[in-house]
Amino acid sequence: MNQHKSHRILFVCLGNICRSPAAEAVFKAKAKLQGIDVFVDSAGTSAWHQGEKADSRMRQAAAARGYQITSFSRPFNRNDFQNFDLIVAMDDLNFDDLKEKALTSEEDQKIVRMRDFLRHHRSDHIPDPYYGGADGFNLVIDLLEDASEGLLKVITSPARDSVQ
Ligand code: 4NP
């Protein structure tokens, strides 16, 4: 796989069982459709669900749209700053937690928010669906589809020298 420098992307949420595993699956599928080589993974700022499959409600909502979520939860670790070019937070809590872990400005600059790539929807974060109903999981997929397309546009733009 062509692991071009700016195509190694890590999606991060709190538990790594709902939003970021879905982001990983949606983004990977959209990149494949566009013929763009990407290296993607996801992680949680917590280790609460380490080793678990993604939440069955999230897997179901994703499967209904044609996305297979196969990942197992793992916590973010400092090696991720080396192994990824972009670290994409689902909400402000995730963003702030990641920023606290960054030790250099290079690491700090890799951290961005998924909502910044939305092109059609308006939302200041990807809302945590864990304690809500089915609508929340479907909204997560809507937002992730939109932002994944926006993110793909940004990383493939020849003019880009920074995504921020
Ligand atoms: P996620 O959702 O961060 O999108 O994976 C959550 C999963 C679990 C919990 C909270 C949010 N929890 O409190 O266990």
Q: Measuring CA to CA, which residue among 76, 68, 8, 70 is closest to residue 39?
A: 8
For residues 31 and 150, the answer to whether their CB atoms sit within 8 Å is no
Pick the CATH number of 7-156 from 3.30.1330.10, 3.40.30.10, 3.10.580.10, 3.40.50.2300: 3.40.50.2300
Q: Is the pLDDT of residue 130 over 60?
A: yes
Q: Catalytic residue at 128?
A: yes
Q: Is the pTM of this model over 0.85?
A: yes
Alpha carbons 84 and 110: distance in angstroms, whole number: 8
Question: Would the CB of 19 count as within 6 Å of ligand 1?
Answer: yes
pLDDT band with cut points at 50, 70 and 90 for residue 60: very high
pLDDT band with cut points at 50, 70 and 90 for residue 157: confident
Token digits of residue 138? 């479907």
- Domain range annotation of the chain: 7-156
- Ramachandran class of 104: left when φ > 0, alpha when ψ lies in -120 to 50, beta otherwise: beta
Ramachandran angles phi, psi of 93, nearest 5°: -65, -45
What's the pLDDT score for residue 3?
Answer: 42
- Residues 124-131, mean pLDDT to the nearest whole number: 98
pLDDT in tens, 3-52: 445 599 999 999 999 999 999 999 999 999 999 999 999 999 999 999 99
Question: Would the CB of 16 count as within 6 Å of ligand 1?
Answer: yes
Catalytic residue among 41, 80, 91, 128: 128
